[in-house]
Amino acid sequence: MTQEKTLILLKQIQEGITTPEEALKLLCKAPFQDLGFAKLDHHRELRQGVAEVIYGEGKTIEQLSTITSAMIDRGQKLILITRLIEEHAVILEKSHALTYKKIARIGIIGDFPKPNGLGKIVIATGGTCDMPIAEEAAITAEALGNEVVRLYDVGVAGLHRLLARLDDIMEARVIIAIAGMEGALASVIGGLANCPVIGVPTSVGYGASFNGLSALLTMLNSCASGVCVVNINNGFGAAYLANMINRN
The total number of residues written for the chain in this structure: 248
- 3-state SS, one letter per residue, for 78-125: CEEEECCCHHHHHHHHHHHCCEEECCCCEEEECCCCCCCCCCEEEEEE
pTM: 0.86
Q: Determine contact, residues 144/48, Cβ cutoff 8 Å.
A: no
Q: What is the pLDDT of residue 30?
A: 64
Q: What share of the chain is helix, strand, coil (3-state, %, to 5)?
A: 45, 15, 40
Q: What are phi and psi of 99, to 5 degrees?
A: -105, 130
Q: What amino acid occupies position 196?
A: P
Using DSSP bridges, classify how beta strands 197-201 and 227-229 pair: parallel, antiparallel or unpaired: parallel
- Percent of the chain at pLDDT > 70 equals 96
The pLDDT of residue 183 is 93
Domain annotation for the chain: domains and CATH numbers: 31-109 (no CATH), 120-245 (3.40.50.1970)
Rounded to whole angstroms, the Cα distance separating 127 from 178 reads 9
Cβ neighbours of 115 (radius 10 Å): 16
Task: Name which residue leads in pLDDT, 193 or 48.
Answer: 193
Tell me the CA distances in angstroms from 116 to 55, 86, 135, 195, one per residue in order.
Answer: 25, 31, 20, 19
Cα–Cα distance list, 113 to 105, 138, 142, 196, 197 (Å): 20, 14, 8, 24, 24
To the nearest whole number, what is the mean pLDDT of the chain?
91
Instruction: Please give the angle made by the CA atoms of 36, 1 and 83, to the nearest 5 degrees.
Output: 55
Average pLDDT of span 179-185: 95
Q: What are phi and psi of 39, to 5 degrees?
A: -120, 105
What is the sign of the dihedral through the CA atoms of 100, 106, 107 and 111? negative
Residue type, 97: A
Determine which of 13-17, 60-64, 204-208 has the lowest per-residue pLDDT on average: 13-17
Could you tell me how far CA 211 lies from the centroid of its own chain?
22
Instruction: Tell me what pLDDT residue 42 has.
Output: 81
pLDDT at 89 over 70: yes
pLDDT for residue 138 is more than 80? yes
